[in-house]
Structure 1
Amino acid sequence: MDDKRNLIFAVLLTGLILFGWPYVASTFFPTAVAPEQSVTEKAAPANGSDTGTSIVASAAAPKNVPLGNALKSSARILIETPKLKGSVNLEGARIDDLQLLTHRTALPKNSPPVRLLAPSGTAKAHFARFGWVGKNVTVPDDKSIWTPSSNVLTPEAPVTLSWINPEGQKFEIVLSVDKDYMITAEQRFTNGSAAEVEVAPFGLLSRNGQSPDPDSWNIHVGPMGVFDGTLTNVNYDEVIEAPKSELDYQTTGGWLGETEKYWLAALIPDQKVKINASFKTKDGFYWSQMVNANQTKVAPGATFSQKSRLFAGAKEVETLDMYANEQGIPLLDYSIDWGWFWFLAIPFFWILHWLFGVFGNFGVAIIGLTIIVRLFMFPVAQKQFASMAQMRAVQPKMKALQERWKDDKPRLQQEMMKLYKDEKVNPLAGCLPILLQIPIFFALYKILMLSIEMRHQPFALWLKDLSAPDPLTPVNLFGLLPFDPPTFLAIGVLPILLGITMWLMQKLNPQPMDEVQKQVFAIMPWFLMFIMAPFAAGLQLYWVMSNLISIAQQKWLYSRHPILKEQMAKEAEAKAREKAKAST
């Protein structure tokens, strides 16, 4: 019995550390925010032969130009799709203005769309650019003014940007966009000179500062890529601490970029071309860069062409799956950090997504998923309760052994093992459901924390956003008092229900005989109540519903096990006698 209790205690303690530390770290050890600056990038020199990834130069002085002024400072072509709205800057051919029309910055329906890309010089500059490096050729740079074939880029109407250098050599970028989040850039170079030249296309993503989303042990935020078929997550600190603050890779195919909790900007090269890729930082700016590993020789009068793509949008599971499976972009669907138990998280997500389509309410879908998970676990729960019935039945004999051999621990262990053998009791049999529930809970945690499909989804009453913590707390009398309590005190209704239901579950289980363990188990529900308070209400709803189903399940199974029913009656009588004796 002690071994079983120690194992359960270890599992619970591990869970507390895993789930509690992100809250503690984010509260007491906040990540430093990079200073707001702007950057000007330069292409490689015209006579250079280096096709490495050192495409950017040192950062310019901070400007902090207002967004409206930056958008009006140069000529632009518009981007109009069902999901995207923005523009392309004709100075430098930068894709630097992009809003996600189907995702709002806040809960109110009149909130502005999420802005993913913003022009250089603004406080939150984030943009993409496609260009060339070359040998014996003058290439366009970030100040070059391009000529568009039309003024609007739509899924039905591509736009060609053109620039001709003094030698009469023509550079073109044919931009096309689909109905989701993919922009394709076909880079064409026509050698109008009398001599052979060498060119190599490059792609660049530039960002002012780190993502505002916290990068934690369980949710990756920051640089990431797929290099030769391997998904690679890189922390900001790894880039900062690297030699020359640059991490270099060489790959054929794949992609690279920067992920946030819900958003992704990624460069996708031609999947058959070997490229040099890198993540780089300087003065608070971060770049993701790719360039062909080898320059291509272009004869006089010949044209060289190569396609690259830019994904800039929301990490919608169905959309990412389409790009990965139908368009051959390897592991783009794994830009969502499903975690260790991805093999559970992905099918659970699709069940949840299907339930949402059936009920039209994400909260109801979570309840439905909880019921499905509990039904799946029911056979295991039956074995657990059968084991509990046996353990509860032998508890009087175990207490007698503890009294008899309390001063001889080795002998006590021998006698307890003999008792287990004689009564055919396995003290570890009840631990299997706990061990199985750990990966299930982690998988559901990932889904409910990372799924953009749950972002800003309401449930009922005061729960207007299941991706945010429960906002209703008794600390300010449910909003009647005009103040917002600090995060560690803002205990919502769902976390309180979580604590109460866990306490009720403990009352139905056999109590630990060790007094220290008994005290630890007594405070565990209320400790978890505080730990879970900052988490998404959707996760809290799942846990509360799971507890309620477990309580109902325990009550029903108790009625089906006469041994447990009889033992509980005896325990109740014993407690009543002790209470009566204490009162006299």
Structure 2
Amino acid sequence: MNENKNLILAVVLSALVLLGWGWLSNKITPANPSPVKVENGKVQPVPQPNASPAPSTPAVLRDRAKVLAETPRVRIQTPSLQGSINLQGAKIDDLVLVRERESVGKNSPPVRLLSPAGAPGAYFTSFGWSGQGVQAPPPDAVWTPSAQVLEPGKPVTLTWSNGGPRFEITISVDDNYLFTVQQRVANTSANAVAVRPFGLVSRANKSPDPDSWTVHVGPIGVFNGAANYDVNWKTLDENAAGEQFTTPGGWLGFTDKYWLTALAPAGERSFAASFRKGPSGAYQADYSDAPIVVEPGKAVTTETRLFAGAKEKKLLDQYEAAGIPKLSKAIDWGWFEWFMRPIFDLLNWLFQHIGNFGVAIICLTLIVRGLMFPIAQKQFQSMAAMRKLQPKMKAIQERYKDDKPKLQQEMMKLYQEEKINPAAGCLPILLQIPIFYALYKVLLVSVEMRHQPFILWIKDLSAPDPLTPVNLFGLLHFTPPHFLAIGVLAILLGVTMWLQFKLNPAPMDPTQQQIFSIMPWVMMFVMAPFASGLQLYWVTSNVLTILQQWWLYKKYGLHFADTHPVTT
């Protein structure tokens, strides 16, 4: 039966999209390669700026609290961030996200983003200068602050001088995750000096989040107007020289699945950027401006924005509109970005008005199915017509079972006489695939859904369903292996898919019958590790499909026995 083949095709294509689309897109349209320049008609690689310290990390790690207590600090206090600035080296190396928690537990600590060198998970940003004819602040320089607390609307200026030019770093922060860093050099000497401002982000370890074809994790940036997802941990592990870029405007840094630390030099000024790995194993993203000549008695100021926080789409869009080019590309949208963004905006709008992300997913499913109802109507009408023809088709099959060409000829003749197109159900299936994949990606990359509860036992829609009969729904105190942890939602997915298949015309081919009998349970195992939010969408969609089929079959006077006759 062609309708059955269409349904099998839909499930197979959905699985292929989930498992292979990202890999295929990277092969067809890889991200921007390392930049080059042309000199005298020859292509040359852009040289490494060499304007910032090489990445390094101490061999022996110590307690974070002890490391923090060893250096003078300025406290950071905002509605979204808490931490401190290390005055030795002008580093922002202590930062937690107060609105985000490590787990759904009541006493779970806030997510730590940045940590000082020498402590576990060292991850920090730093700003400075290199220079000619001038002593720039060394990496261990101790800066003098203008205040002891950095708050929104209350910037702090750090100053350093060694008898020559005066160096200043003025840091301000907003209510969310954006720092603005102004680097100023005042030349109080009698001679002109050349300085080169730089900034860096250094992290001792790779992200604990996996870097996959679905979600890019690791080095990231926007160079020459395009997002670059091509540089990853493996790239830096294998390339001692690192990756270099020269770009007018843009940003660079490191991304986790939900968090981002990125440096964005303000304006359209050209700067040299690089990603590299040091001998100690630390990773670094850094930029440096072109050398600036400061005449005696003059001062120059450069500005850089630092984003350090959760990749909330609304905030990324706001900062992008405020001048950080394509910051929203920090979310790895993939090929369906044009479709994913409106789906995300609608889902988030529903959540803001309903207050429950799970209910918002159900409402989104209703809206999507409502918009597709006219197309689905035609599909089910075709299926209903095929149901009515099944006795005649069965008779033709019995009559010409030993003559395959004649069987096909008679089947096509029957379709023409009854004015039925057996392929009419393909269009709705093909339309649902990008919708399903777009929603899958939205639920996968959305920090807004992280730790959002639904009802009862589902406390985190971004995680798999934790309730499984394998351990008697938690009565047995053990965690089953990953491949056996089949949650309640995954079981419902299998059951509703089985019911959906039962409402379709019964396949005549024994092979198809076997496929239909096992596919729901195979998909139950395949989908079990996915986010429960995605499983909730699929279960809701299956239930709506079953109701729609039942209503249409009732409308056309069809019953289950009409297309599932007892065979002898």
Deviation at 1:513, TM superposition (A): 2.3
Distance 1:554 1:9, change over 3 A: closer
Q: Distance in 2 between matches of 1:536 and 1:437?
A: 19
CA deviation string 1:552-574 (max 9, x = no partner): 11111111223xx16x44345x4
Q: Does 1:317 align with 2:289?
A: no
Distance 1:102 1:487, change over 3 A: same
Hey, what does 1:220 align to over in structure 2?
216
Hey, what does 2:562 align to over in structure 1?
570
CA deviation string 1:522-545 (max 9, x = no partner): 111111111111111111111111
Q: Distance in 1 between matches of 2:188 and 2:467?
A: 69
Hey, what does 2:34 align to over in structure 1?
none
SS at match of 1:244: coil
One-letter code aligned to 2:196: A
One-letter code aligned to 2:313: V
Hey, what does 1:207 align to over in structure 2?
203
Q: Distance in 1 between matches of 2:411 and 2:341?
A: 44
Q: Does 1:265 align with 2:261?
A: yes
Hey, what does 1:157 align to over in structure 2?
154
CA deviation string 1:279-311 (max 9, x = no partner): 11134321111111x211111111011100100
Deviation at 1:519, TM superposition (A): 1.1
SS at match of 2:544: helix
TM-score normalised by length of structure 1: 0.89
Q: Does 1:125 align with 2:122?
A: yes
TM-score normalised by length of structure 2: 0.91
Q: Does 1:363 align with 2:368?
A: no
Structure 1 stretches of 5 or more lacking a match?
Answer: 23-49
Deviation at 1:423, TM superposition (A): 2.3
1:441-520 alignment, distance < 5 Å: 441-520=436-515
Q: Distance in 1 between matches of 2:498 and 2:138?
A: 65
Q: Residue 370 of structure 1 contacts residue 545 of structure 1 at CA under 8 Å; is this kept in 2?
A: yes
Q: Distance in 2 between matches of 1:499 and 1:202?
A: 55
Q: Distance in 2 between matches of 1:279 and 1:511?
A: 58
Q: Residue 361 of structure 2 contacts residue 537 of structure 2 at CA under 8 Å; is this kept in 1?
A: yes
1:196-345 alignment, distance < 5 Å: 196-240=192-236, 243-282=239-278, 283-292=280-289, 294-325=290-321, 327-345=322-340
Q: Residue 14 of structure 2 contacts residue 436 of structure 2 at CA under 8 Å; is this kept in 1?
A: no
How many residues are matched?
A: 542
One-letter code aligned to 1:414: Q
Q: Distance in 2 between matches of 1:348 and 1:191?
A: 53
Identity of matched residues, %: 54
Q: Which moved more, 1:112-121 or 1:414-423?
A: 414-423
Deviation at 1:173, TM superposition (A): 0.3
CA deviation string 1:46-86 (max 9, x = no partner): xxxx9814523363551212111111110000001110000
Q: Distance in 2 between matches of 1:120 and 1:237?
A: 20
Q: Residue 222 of structure 1 contacts residue 234 of structure 1 at CA under 8 Å; is this kept in 2?
A: no
Structure 2 stretches of 5 or more lacking a match?
Answer: 22-46
One-letter code aligned to 2:562: K
What is the Cα-based RMSD across aligned positions, in Å?
A: 2.0
Q: Distance in 1 between matches of 2:392 and 2:188?
A: 97
CA deviation string 1:454-477 (max 9, x = no partner): 111111111111111111111111
Q: Distance in 2 between matches of 1:78 and 1:329?
A: 26
Deviation at 1:393, TM superposition (A): 2.5
Q: Does 1:549 align with 2:541?
A: no
Q: Distance in 2 between matches of 1:511 and 1:142?
A: 74
Q: Distance in 2 between matches of 1:155 and 1:400?
A: 79
Q: Residue 53 of structure 1 contacts residue 277 of structure 1 at CA under 8 Å; is this kept in 2?
A: no
Q: Does 1:193 align with 2:185?
A: no
CA deviation string 1:303-357 (max 9, x = no partner): 01110010000111111111112x1211111211222222222112222222222
Q: Residue 129 of structure 2 contacts residue 198 of structure 2 at CA under 8 Å; is this kept in 1?
A: yes
Q: Distance in 2 between matches of 1:99 and 1:444?
A: 30
Of 107, 122, 129 in structure 2, the residue corresponding to residue 110 of structure 1 is 107
Of 90, 97, 102 in structure 2, the residue corresponding to residue 100 of structure 1 is 97
One-letter code aligned to 1:138: Q
Q: Does 1:64 align with 2:56?
A: no
Q: Residue 20 of structure 1 contacts residue 531 of structure 1 at CA under 8 Å; is this kept in 2?
A: no
Hey, what does 2:29 align to over in structure 1?
none
